[in-house]
Structure 1
């Protein structure tokens, strides 16, 4: 009997993770999702065909929990994992002077350190599925060029980009490829939160005032599918991200100006002078 292909998605309780789960399940894949939000995971599972999803509540910063979840999930997939989607992340931001040390540590832990934990835990299962195996990391267009008020977030995503390139080279000998998707702003529930504890305005409001576009989660899910099955190490998702990639390559000075525009939008959204 042919074993159904499988994907394990972190941050599967909402947003990009939920959209990925729906997209891959629609293609007949077995889906495992993790999140700290059990209700969100239950809602995602209810959107998928019966018997095609298992949920795991744990923090992606918990090494032992990674091992336990993947060991359990792969019991029903023949000990194999075709794709690990390292998708869980936090959107925290704001001027570095406003971000607390605790927020810096949490952002680095969840957005970067945890991806290494997931990759290490998934490696033997990906190896067992090779050459039909892929590590899929959710990076960001923020990794193309550093934006104001995103110094820590952008640094973590630039780290994800570098990690992906390194592991694509390291793991090629085992038949495992590494890919990243690099979307710009996605209109998910995470953007309803302020960028950090000292701000009150949701991130979404600042993005709108800066005149930037949102990319639908369904488009991100489709590009995730394309990344897993394609040859590009990094896949830019959405018009804004693709435009940033082009400008970053040929006209980096324009991205410097965009960074300043975003900074001004953040200040105005809080009712502060732009040069405060």
Structure 2
């Protein structure tokens, strides 16, 4: 039997990039998929592109809005009668040095990443704690939340906060069989990294033990591990998917 057969998984920010790679990995393992994205049209199109028919739906959702997140969870349970996996993946960047970063740039990144992950964790746990088999929540942090990166005081703060959120939430809901874990990706091949200046890319590659950029599918496999019963005795854990960067 596939790892997620009959289970329902919500992935935020999954119309493209790492989130979509996670959706693909989950779909291949038999899950019902809810693609959530701030762009509702893109979410619907991405769900159809998975090629699993009515096992996938797309839902528009602003993860920084509690009402939207509650509606997302309701859409998942209405469509598939359970909520077994919730991945808080949605994110944005507004990079700048502190001298140039505005309060609005800081607040927006914190709202999407940290508030969004908290809202998703809370809403998912509220459903999962009443299910016989609990559930698995996976929060996507970043290596930036471990070491701090230049020009990312907002992003690094949010991603570090997600680790604290993950550990505190894991302690709160573990009694109900709800597991909460996190993944910290490093330098992953995305549209953003594809446009990186060659000298910056070369410098970053020198920091990576494996000497290469990671692929979205490699992050997805770590998330799949935490979503499935393969990690049934893990909660409050943080997995680094970095190729050995910043050890």
Q: Report the CA distance shift for 1:204/1:176 in structure 2 as closer, same or farther (over 3 A).
A: farther
Is residue 234 of structure 2 the alignment partner of residue 234 of structure 1? Answer: no
Structure 1, unmatched stretches of 5+, are 193-201, 247-276
Partner residue of 1:70 out of 73, 76, 80: 73
Contact 1:91–1:190 (Cα < 8 Å) also in 2? no
Name the CA shift for 1:88/1:218 in 2 (closer, same or farther; >3 Å): same
Aligned to 1:216: 215
Match 1:21 to one of 23, 33, 48:
23
CA contact (8 A) 2:183 2:222 kept: yes
Query: In the alignment, is the contact (CA less than 8 A) between 1:13 and 1:38 conserved in 2?
Result: no
Q: Is the 8 A contact 2:64 2:111 kept in 1?
A: yes
What TM-score do the two structures reach when normalised by structure 2? Answer: 0.86
Name which of structure 1's ranges 36-45 and 173-182 shifts more when overlaid on structure 2.
36-45
Shift of residue 135, structure 1, vs aligned partner: 1.1
What residue ranges of structure 2 are gaps of 5+ in the alignment?
206-211
Partner SS, residue 135 of structure 1: strand
The residue number in structure 1 matching 2:209 is none
Query: How many angstroms does 1:190 deviate by?
Result: 4.4
Q: Which has the larger radius of gyration?
A: 1
Name the CA distance, whole Å, in 1 between partners of 2:197 and 2:90: 19
TM-score, reference length from structure 1: 0.77
Judge conservation of contact 2:22–2:223 (CA < 8 Å) in 1.
yes
Q: Partner residue of 2:139?
A: 137
3-state SS of 1:211 partner: helix
Number of aligned residues: 231
Give me the CA root mean square deviation.
2.0
